[in-house]
Amino acid sequence: MSSLVRFGVSLEKGLLEKFDRLIKERNYTNRSEAFRDLIRQEFVKKEWREGEDVAGAITLIYDHHRKDLLSKITDIQHNFQNIIISTQHIHLDHDNCLELIAVRGNPIEVQKLADTLRSIKGVKHGTLSMSSTGKEIS
């Protein structure tokens, strides 16, 4: 771990009060940790923008009774196996399935996979959690 450096930040009073309310809502124990997370979030965005290797998760909710969907979702995943780390299928209830796909690799490919899966007719909801490999944000 790199050594800690302290530095002063000047902020408008109103903005700082808002920031303090926000970090309290989000259960941060102090401003420093909240500030660190904000900075890291910007670096993660930069990784996605600039084509660095990224990591993340795709979630899909879809109708269990549509057997064609499972087959389509599987076919697409076979075409993106270079960026898929693992896939988990969860039977949410009698009618709904949840597919969790962990991904790592080129952000354009990851986005393309997420968009392709989400746009399948019958997929009720899809998300892409855009995270980091963690290497560049320590």
CB of 2 to Ni ion, least distance (A): 45
Residues 36-75 that bind Ni ion (CB under 5 A): 64
Please state the closest distance from residue 68 (CB atom) to Ni ion, in A: 14
What Å distances lie between residue 20 and 10, 88, 103, CA to CA? 14, 38, 34
Instruction: Show the binding pattern over residues 78-97: x = contacts Ni ion (CB under 5 A), - = does not.
Output: -------------x-----x
CA separation for the pair 28, 43 (Å, rounded): 20
Instruction: Give me the least distance between CB of 113 and Ni ion, in Å please.
Output: 20
What is the bridge-based pairing of β-strands 123-132 and 54-63? antiparallel
Rounded to an integer, what distance in angstroms lies between the CA atom of residue 71 and that of residue 114?
16
Residues in touch with Ni ion (CB under 5 A): 64, 91, 97
